[in-house]
Structure 1
């Protein structure tokens, strides 16, 4: 009868509430969404890590060109598989309640494909390719776009964006908060 509430002790719910931007009710809703991704696996083991392919079946991720990077960044295993706690972190960061600073930090990590703590021209090329999909740019147009982005954003002229430079760019993007969210 208690449904997902019986999956957690009151103390666990309290901890999750302190570590996320969610109320207890929202945490239970997130758990329900996690459970629906693979009911048998979650029922059999509350600490299961769902494989990236399963997590990417979430409707909001299914259509996201960065779904693999999102899973990898939030995976405590580092392989894209997500435990409930990883999934809860992801949903919390993508919630409307998460502040812009937290969203910026995770966006930076998602776009830093080579994980060198900079968004370099190679990372920008990957971002642009994923965003343009089938409509790939010519090499010349791609390089021009990358040059334009770096010209506008690379304040220290090192041909890469540090987190501070990235955050500065995000602060000027009015639609960032709307595009970096998953609604419950």
Structure 2
């Protein structure tokens, strides 16, 4: 998961003086997450950049989220949209600062594996039924392959889905429940490899160098 960075001028002083909507004190967020106070402060600088990349209202909209993760705000992306929906804890169509930090905390290398496992389950449970159905897994596998610019045949995708279900669906009812998912993850820890972002642990020293230049520049009027 990458993030976009703009080399455009910073927001005007009046905007910089205003706290972003949903702002919470770093000490409060640090106490509730895997981040330190300094890391939360660094995340706030990143949040301000992202939340002013297109709409400039101090909130991260879905288009800005897609731009940050995949360097494009155009067109739907099942993976990006699903992650956005899970970050949007208030279900109001935008991500506030507190939501941003709490959700990103799950990807911190020091975050409990149980939190990563639960988030990954929700990621695949597209319809929110409390189970992962075969079609949901198939849709997400295809979305992840598209996001990675990988092309597999339909038969190869089916093999991935069938193999996953043969291992995870222990009671053979055609769906994976949370307990089965937990057991599957224990036996297949690599299934959570995308649930940790190493740079989050060093964000106070790597920010903003870890952030990639992207099409954000097109929206801020600065050419590449």
The TM tier, using the shorter chain, reads 0.7 to 0.9
Q: Distance in 1 between matches of 2:135 and 2:192?
A: 25
Once the 2 structures are TM-superposed, how far is the Cα of residue 7 of structure 1 from its aligned partner?
A: 5.0
Range with bigger deviation, 23-32 or 77-86? 77-86
Residues 74 and 80, structure 1, Cα contact 8 Å, conserved in 2: no
What number of residue pairs does the alignment pair up?
A: 170
Aligned ranges 1:14-33 → 2 under 5 Å: 14-33=27-46
Residues 120 and 192, structure 2, Cα contact 8 Å, conserved in 1: no
Could you list the runs of 5+ residues in structure 2 that have no partner in the other structure? Answer: 1-15, 72-76, 201-224
Secondary structure in structure 2 of the residue aligned to 1:103: helix
Secondary structure in structure 1 of the residue aligned to 2:57: helix
Could you list the runs of 5+ residues in structure 1 that have no partner in the other structure? Answer: 43-48
Higher relative contact order (Cα pairs below 8 Å, separated by 6+ residues): 2
Distance 1:171 1:84, change over 3 A: same
CA RMSD of aligned residues (A): 2.7
When normalised by structure 2's length, the TM-score is 0.66
Given the alignment, which residue of 138, 149, 152 partners 2:164? 149
Residues 30 and 91, structure 1, Cα contact 8 Å, conserved in 2: no
When normalised by structure 1's length, the TM-score is 0.79
Given the alignment, which residue of 53, 57, 61 partners 2:67? 57
Given the alignment, which residue of 177, 180, 199 partners 1:162? 177
Secondary structure in structure 2 of the residue aligned to 1:72: helix
